[in-house]
Amino acid sequence: MLSIACQLLSLPCIAAAELAPIPLGDRQMEIHAEGLRFSLLDQQGSTLAPAHHVAGASLNGSALSVISTIDQHSFQLVSKKGERAKLIIKHDMGCTAVTISPDQPATPNKPHKIALQLGGMPVAYGLGDTGGWNQTLNLVNDEETTYSLKHDGGKYRWLSSFVIFPRNNFASVTFDGLNRSITLSKSRFKTTVTGAGAATFYYFTGSMKDIYASYQKLLVQKGYPLIKPKSRLFELGWESWAALGWQTNAKTMLDSITKFQERGFPIRWAVSGSGFWEDRGTTTSFGKWGKKFPGAMDFKEQLHQRDVKWMIGLRTNFVPPGGPYKPVTKERDQNMVVDTFSGNPLSQAALDRNYFLKKPDGQLWKRHSNCFPIVPCYLIDGNNAKASKWYAELYQQWQVDGIKEDTMMGLGSTHTDVFNHPIANIADDGALVMARCGSFTSPGTLLRINDTHVNELSRRIPINYLQNAACGAPNAYSDTVGFKKMKNYSELVVRHAWLLSLTAGLAVGESSSHWTEKQQTIFKKPFDFHYRIVPTLYDAAMKSYLSGYPHTMTPLGIAYPGDARATAAPNFQWMIGDSLLCAPLLKNHSSGKMNLYLPEGIWFDYDTGDKHTGPKLLKDFPMPVTKTPCFIGGKGILVTRASDSSSLTVHLYPAGKNPKSHTVHHPDGTSTSKIVWVENSNNTQVTDTTTGKTITSHIDENTAALSFSILPEHHYLVQ
């Protein structure tokens, strides 16, 4: 049947049957000329991503159809409105790029709107902060939902158009356009971009690990920074905001940190986010300390003597030169009052060098923050390499150990990439970086979601964590444990502690020292567990960095994509690495019980050692606040530590899927240990192949797990 559009326009057309399948490595794409309906198939011809039932592409709201073939991978298109475009398909290393290029150029007042759509797929994760405020982890809701990518300076600050469909072994991303939106329903997956020229849509097929590897290669090709994680930020931290607010100073910080350490909380990094700068200054008053930190470097040395690295809050917005400037409002939470802000003389240098962000029309971008400093500001143009370098060099004047980036300037749907490089440059120079703003990749070791509260642990916090992880940014962090809820003991606060302890970033602020001794003992248990598994978390983060796969926090549906029950687990569950299943009780926590799903394989209860064989749903499973909400299975490998001075310990559980070898990344960031094991003897023996010596090992009587200590750059044979 010939295209209706072609008949109306008297254009030459081809029949749908004339389009031969397009080879994509060991996959293929099928295209129907009418409506440009397309689908992706695996090497056996089974459908991975189905075609939409009506149309697969549109230009400015009008469906496109194929009217002629240019070559095997490119075609001439026409819309029902008569607008022409070209379709070009390229495939490389598991990534298929589909580009639609309109023949007629767009105008500033009338940009092109280009959309591609496929049929519906049952489960989708991703979209960063945009997906983090969804009502469920699965972005495919009962009603069709359109997710628009926009930076609002608040809850939407880390943006990604990456969506992964684990049940279909399929994923997609696009980087083009000033406006990007994703529409998902049970009947379609649609990506729409608005821009001046061509738009490219990237599709990935294969195993989950293959997809993430291909996606990471594409990110590198596109110039997005990849930050090697620093193990210090996987340790317990401390933040001033909840504890002290604007009363943060050298004395109050040191007093609070010291008291925590004396009570057995091994704090290793601390953030002073408030008021460390000169009077009427801001975070970009580089190197100008205020009266709260008169001897800043002496204070830094005091923290270092307690093995604590000092981080400060830092933003990328600059108060204009001149001034003084009166804020929009004097009110700010946590006891801060300010009458005026001084002009920043550094802003003139940036203006002279064209370092500040401009609007699409070329005018200087300038607006006030909705939080701080509450006066009109300029913003560093992070896509200007010289501006990013200049900003990172200015940061060095603070002479601290790292930063917590917290820029709160809404950008809408444009310029969403300007935060990555200035902050990534600071991280690359060796600083500890906790990032908040960015796109597609995290410019720091930890990626913070927006300000969170204890009562959000049943939905908001885990959903945002897991959506970011699904986008390839799994080193999650939010706020301090019990944020603003530490006045009285509650099980909810302890549940919050358990949730955060199972992620890369964990910190305290407000003290629990006024609770009863029993309550404090219960509260301390998640922190002790996190300390124990830091080597596992860091090892997983290094593997995430090297592979693109979200090892630090893998949504259960991505870890087990072929298991429909894993993608529909009744509670929030994820994997750390290939062996540690995390299942904190977050919903209906007052019951103390939960429905917990164990995928295929052997699983050991972390506390009791009880053995379970999956797939299995553990209904009404007891999960009191005193219980570690974890199981060990999969590859059965856990790496722990007992103290700062002890060697790491490897635990090998008989989970049935043990690999033949495993590499452990040590917290020093450079050393590894490779473990190889063979089952060829009735006796168990562990040999340090670096020294040739047999080393002491232990077999747990309950689980039969084998444990032994390892040293950096030593390798081991287990028989």
DSSP string, 657-680: ---SEEEEE-TTSS-EEEEEE---
Phi/psi at 616 (5° precision) = -155, 140
* Residue 424 and residue 293 share a domain: yes
Strand 438-439 vs strand 62-71: parallel, antiparallel, or unpaired?
unpaired
For a pLDDT cut of 70, what percent of the chain falls above it? 96
Among the candidates 510, 539, 568, a domain finishes at 539
* Residue 363 in domain: no
Model pLDDT, residue 336? 62
Phi/psi at 597 (5° precision) = -105, 130
Burial of 668 from C-beta contacts in 10 A (0-12 / 13-18 / 19+): exposed
Query: Where does the pLDDT of residue 2 fall: very low under 50, low under 70, confident under 90, or very high at 90 and above?
Result: very low
Query: Where does the pLDDT of residue 1 fall: very low under 50, low under 70, confident under 90, or very high at 90 and above?
Result: very low
Strand 376-379 vs strand 367-368: parallel, antiparallel, or unpaired?
antiparallel
**579 near 634, Cβ under 8 Å?**
yes
- Copy the structure tokens of residue 132: 């983090």
* Residue 236 and residue 201 share a domain: no
Strand 593-605 vs strand 611-622: parallel, antiparallel, or unpaired?
antiparallel
Which of the pair, 451 or 381, is modelled with greater confidence?
381
Model pLDDT, residue 570? 82
Whole-Å CA distances, 84 to 55, 78, 525, 529: 16, 4, 64, 61
* Residue 77 and residue 171 share a domain: yes
* Residue 625 in domain: no
> With the C-alpha atoms ordered 146, 151, 152, 157, is the resulting torsion angle positive or negative?
positive
* Residue 642 in domain: yes
- Copy the structure tokens of residue 86: 């070209």
Tell me the mean pLDDT in the region 572-581. 97
CATH number at residue 306: 3.20.20.80
Model pLDDT, residue 17? 45
Task: State the greatest distance between any 2 C-alpha atoms of the chain, in Å, as a whole number.
Answer: 85
Q: What is the mean pLDDT of the chain?
A: 93
Task: Compute the distance between CA of residue 374 and CA of residue 324 in angstroms, rounded to an integer.
Answer: 13
Number of Cβ within a 10 Å radius of residue 251: 11
Model pLDDT, residue 682? 65
Task: Compute the distance between CA of residue 436 and CA of residue 457 in angstroms, rounded to an integer.
Answer: 19
Task: Compute the distance between CA of residue 503 and CA of residue 465 in angstroms, rounded to an integer.
Answer: 9
Q: What separation, in Å, do the N-terminal and C-terminal C-alpha atoms of the chain show?
A: 67
Phi/psi at 152 (5° precision) = -105, 5
Model pLDDT, residue 329? 66
The helix or strand, by DSSP H or E, that contains position 543, with its residue range, turns out to be: helix 517-547
Checking if the pLDDT of 16 tops 50, the result is: no
* Residue 366 in domain: no
Among the candidates 479, 510, 539, a domain finishes at 539
Model pLDDT, residue 5? 47
* Residue 260 and residue 182 share a domain: no
* Residue 237 and residue 199 share a domain: no
User: What's this model's pTM, rounded to 2 decimal places?
Assistant: 0.96
* Residue 257 and residue 112 share a domain: no
Tell me the mean pLDDT in the region 151-156. 93
Tell me the mean pLDDT in the region 48-64. 96
* Residue 464 and residue 403 share a domain: yes
Number of Cβ within a 10 Å radius of residue 323: 16
| pLDDT, tens only, 582-613 | 999 999 888 899 999 999 999 999 999 999 99
Place of tokens 């259960």: 556
* Residue 249 and residue 175 share a domain: no
**HEC assignment per residue over 15-49:** CHHHCCCEEECCEEEEEECHHHEEEEECCCCCEEE
Task: Compute the distance between CA of residue 441 and CA of residue 443 in angstroms, rounded to an integer.
Answer: 6
Task: Compute the distance between CA of residue 342 and CA of residue 369 in angstroms, rounded to an integer.
Answer: 15
Place of tokens 């993608």: 567
Query: Where does the pLDDT of residue 37 fall: very low under 50, low under 70, confident under 90, or very high at 90 and above?
Result: very high
* Residue 416 in domain: yes
* Residue 378 in domain: no
3-state SS assignment for residue 216 = helix
Model pLDDT, residue 450? 87
Query: Where does the pLDDT of residue 8 fall: very low under 50, low under 70, confident under 90, or very high at 90 and above?
Result: very low
* Residue 361 in domain: no
Q: Domain span at residue 98?
A: 4-206
- Split into its structural domains, the chain has a count of 3
* Residue 53 and residue 173 share a domain: yes
Distance from the Cα of residue 537 to its chain's centroid: 14
For a pLDDT cut of 90, what percent of the chain falls above it? 83
Checking if the pLDDT of 163 tops 80, the result is: yes
| pLDDT, tens only, 81-114 | 999 999 999 999 889 999 999 999 888 788 999 9
Closest to 497 (Cα-Cα) out of 506, 486, 489, 488: 506
Query: Where does the pLDDT of residue 243 fall: very low under 50, low under 70, confident under 90, or very high at 90 and above?
Result: confident
**HEC assignment per residue over 393-462:** HHHHHHCCCEEEECCCCCCECCCCCCCHHHHHHHHHCCCEEEECCEECECCCCEEECCCCCHHHCCCHHH
**565 near 620, Cβ under 8 Å?**
no
Q: In the beta sheet, which residues pair with residue 376?
A: 368
* Residue 194 and residue 293 share a domain: no
CATH number at residue 77: 2.60.40.1760
Checking if the pLDDT of 151 tops 80, the result is: yes
* Residue 312 and residue 191 share a domain: no
Place of tokens 């001075």: 645
Among the candidates 500, 520, 539, a domain finishes at 539
Task: Compute the distance between CA of residue 444 and CA of residue 424 in angstroms, rounded to an integer.
Answer: 6
Closest to 470 (Cα-Cα) out of 554, 548, 564: 554
**205 near 94, Cβ under 8 Å?**
yes
3-state SS assignment for residue 629 = coil
**HEC assignment per residue over 477-537:** ECCCCCCCCCCCCCHHHHHHHHHHHCCCCEEECCCCCCCCHHHHHHHHHHHHHHHHHHHHH
* Residue 492 and residue 410 share a domain: yes
3-state SS assignment for residue 147 = strand
| pLDDT, tens only, 261-319 | 999 999 999 999 888 999 999 999 999 999 999 999 999 999 999 999 999 999 999 99
Q: Could you tell me if residue 14 is left (phi over 0), alpha (psi between -120 and 50 degrees) or otherwise beta?
A: beta
Model pLDDT, residue 663? 97
Checking if the pLDDT of 577 tops 60, the result is: yes
Closest to 442 (Cα-Cα) out of 222, 173, 226: 226
| pLDDT, tens only, 529-570 | 999 999 999 999 999 999 999 999 999 999 999 999 999 888
* Residue 565 in domain: no
Query: Where does the pLDDT of residue 422 fall: very low under 50, low under 70, confident under 90, or very high at 90 and above?
Result: very high
Number of Cβ within a 10 Å radius of residue 84: 17
**674 near 715, Cβ under 8 Å?**
yes
Distance from the Cα of residue 616 to its chain's centroid: 29
How many residues does the structure list for the chain? 719
Checking if the pLDDT of 159 tops 70, the result is: yes
Checking if the pLDDT of 415 tops 80, the result is: no
DSSP string for 92-126: ETTEEEEEEEESSPPBTTB-EEEEEEEE--S--EE
